[in-house]
Amino acid sequence: CHGEAKDKVLMGKVRVPETLLIDLKKAKEKIGCSTLA
């Protein structure tokens, strides 16, 4: 996905709660990479 790199950069600068990260991962799995590509 094209969005993964951006997420890693953002997470490096901002501390994100694990629960939020899990929700983001679940949302990405539902949406799929096709929408981000």
How far apart CA 36 and CA 4 sit, in angstroms, is 9
What is the tens place of the pLDDT at every residue in 14-29? 676 778 878 888 888 8
Taking 80 as the threshold, does the pLDDT of residue 12 lie above it?
A: no
Instruction: Tell me the residue range of the domain where 22 lies.
Output: 3-35
Predicted confidence at residue 8, as pLDDT, reads 63
Please tell me the predicted confidence (pLDDT) of residue 34.
Answer: 60
Rg over CA atoms, the chain: 10
Please, what is the average pLDDT of the chain?
Answer: 69
Say how many domains are in the chain: 1
Query: Considering the chain, what percentage of its residues have pLDDT values greater than 90?
Result: 0
pLDDT band for 33, please (50, 70, 90 cuts).
low
CA dihedral 1, 8, 23, 31 (to 10 degrees): -10
